[in-house]
Amino acid sequence: MEIKVRAWDKENKKMLNPDAIWLKHQEISIEGCFYKNVNLMLFTGLTDINSKEIYEGDIISSFYDKWIVSFGNGSFYLKNPITSSYMDLSSEIINWYDLEVIGNVWENPNLLKGGNNAEK
Q: Is 51 helix (H, G, I), strand (E, B) or coil?
A: coil
Provide the whole-model pTM.
0.82
Q: What pLDDT, in 10s, does the model give residues 24-38?
A: 766 777 777 788 888
Domain that holds residue 55: 5-112
Looking at the structure of the chain, the number of domains it has is 1
Q: Within a 10 A sphere around the Cβ of 116, how many other Cβ atoms?
A: 8
87-107 pLDDT, tens digit each: 888 877 777 778 899 999 999
Confirm whether 118 is domain-assigned: no
Residue 117 belongs to a domain: no
SS3 23: strand
More confident residue, 114 or 109: 109
pLDDT in tens, 65-88: 899 999 998 899 999 988 888 888
CB 18 within 8 A of CB 67: no
In a domain, 40, yes or no: yes
In a domain? residue 119: no
- Domain annotation covers residue 105: yes
Percent of the chain whose pLDDT exceeds 70 = 91
Size of the chain, expressed as the number of residues it contains: 120
CATH number at residue 83: 2.30.30.290
Cα–Cα dist 75/72, whole Å: 6
Place 48 in a pLDDT band, splitting at 50, 70 and 90.
Answer: very high
